[in-house]
Chain A
């Protein structure tokens, strides 16, 4: 497996100006580290010839970068209008009760982080839930226990 540094160099070659590789480089580092730790920022900065502060400034603008540790799995429930009109709140509450955490929190064992997100783009098949970035749609409150059990079994 190539190192993060080497992979980032490959990405830089895709662009006439290598700073364009910042977003993909941050994504890669997050995949390796689980979140964007100070060490991850140093590695990205080093590979891009930028400062860690610059990389942090960029990362903090975008929703998908984690600036704090998150659980091994990520469950994201869309609560924008279309989903909310057909019961997103009930779906969210079902996850909260099954996982024993509130939206924005991680389970005690560090397995699952639950959060709400803005429109995920599946409005016609609401409610949209992304489990580790894979969309499940439509999800109803009664589907939630099975989704959580499947996730915890590691399927």
Chain B
């Protein structure tokens, strides 16, 4: 039986750690003191040796990313924390900020020491108001306790744009511009925020750092599935499952355990049958019901043809029409495309139109090939992976549920209006976000 292991989150049943005194009582800020006794390069080495990889979705080795930072440029180095969590299905960073805000701040201060930076920006998603307030209060406490050690941490709120989770778009947004991704190179490690060397890390990644310093890299690296998937992940479980929520588990637990263990997901409600699982946020290829014995680690997921992404697991039961699912996913990415690169801007729109025709029963046989062709023409052809995030999952739905797509072409939606996603209204038509108000101006 799988059980939770707490590196990032506060253990269940533990008293809340939102007050500095309680956090310190639980050993908080001891890692910071320890790290400050170490040479900066030594701290980077620890993070490198721990095997920690980015928890935002890309899974890039965190220590290596830090080691890329340009030195001796005469410009300040910035640490930017990506708290713009918006990948559909993901709600882990929110819980981290809401329940262990000081651990995030401690992680920031340790990392700031490691990369010799004096200014940290936390870019927090605009919708997360309660989380922002908790974090602001925690920061005031840390400031009053004189723990900042000369480092300034600025909380910067976004204003509603999925694309700002992409690191260069986030930097543009933080600089006060439209959040459109930049051409790379130069990479942010050389010319990031204000054209200065910048390190951008996800909330969960940064919040893991105190534990690495506490345990030491070698001990931390033993958790999970070393060497490529060391540590825990905070899995966000949602969809057609009894106990939705966040579960922090060592990597290597199986998807079946997470979904069916009575202490974890608790199975599929209402006596329904499992149809599919999206294992890493809406942008990753889908898994079928017979693939749930896959281990939740990077290598196993790659072998299964998908990825862990942001750790968001969406469980889908047999009432869901896969064409409607594809349509809803494509609508989201069409809405969130920043419009900079043609394949993404136009391609996501084409995908929506074709999927709509398939669902409506007006598509021809050639349209299915056209859909896959459009996906293929988006993949890898844009500045950022947003277009890929639409193309990859939709192509996987066609691949794994081909018969269902074919049924739509032959005789219309086999769900006959009973799909769980029937008539779901996407906000795409509000892209100009101006509700048709009849209020006098």
Contacts and interface: CB of A to CB of B under 8 A. Distances in A.
A130 B151 CA distance: 34
A89 B424 contact: yes
Contacts of B126: 27, 62, 64
A155 B161 CA distance: 30
A29 interface: no
Given A23-B176, A27-B159, A123-B314, A66 B433 contact: yes
A126 interface: yes
Contacts of B173: 23
Given A81-B239, A106-B438, A60 B425 contact: no
Contact of A118 (B130, B154, B336, B438): B336
B293 interface: no
A61 B240 contact: no
Interface stretch (B42-50, B85-93, B382-390): B85-93
Nearest to A38: B441
Given A80-B88, A84-B424, A89-B424, A121 B332 contact: no
B88 A71 contact: no
A155 B392 CA distance: 45
Contacts of B175: 17, 19-20
B432 A115 contact: no
Contacts, number: 210
B404 interface: no
Majority SS at the chain B contact face: loop
Interface string A69-108: 1110000000111101111110010000000000111101
Given A24-B157, A57-B178, A110-B439, A123 B90 contact: yes
Interface stretch (B3-11, B140-148, B415-423): B415-423
A123 B311 CA distance: 13
Nearest to A108: B438
Interface string A1-36: 000000000000011110111111011000000000
A104 B433 CA distance: 9
B156 A20 contact: yes
Contacts of B427: 79, 103, 115-118
B412 interface: no
Given A64-B159, A82-B88, A121-B91, A89 B436 contact: no
Contacts of B246: 124
B429 A104 contact: yes
B313 to A, nearest CB: 10
Contact of B435 (A22, A24, A27, A115): A115
Contacts of B332: 80, 118-119
The 5 closest A-B pairs by CB, nearest first: A63-B160, A124-B244, A22-B176, A123-B238, A62-B159
Interface of B: 76, 85-91, 94, 119, 125-130, 154, 156-162, 173-180, 194, 236-240, 244-246, 278, 282, 312, 314, 316-317, 320, 325, 328-329, 332, 335-336, 338, 420-427, 429-430, 432-441
18 contacts: A16-B194, A19-B177, A20-B176, A57-B178, A61-B180, A63-B161, A64-B433, A67-B433, A68-B441, A79-B426, A80-B282, A85-B420, A89-B425, A117-B427, A118-B335, A120-B127, A121-B91, A123-B89
Given A104-B430, A122-B91, A135-B130, 20 more contacts: A19-B176, A20-B156, A57-B178, A62-B159, A64-B160, A68-B434, A69-B439, A71-B439, A81-B325, A81-B421, A85-B239, A89-B424, A105-B435, A105-B438, A115-B435, A118-B88, A118-B336, A119-B89, A119-B282, A124-B244
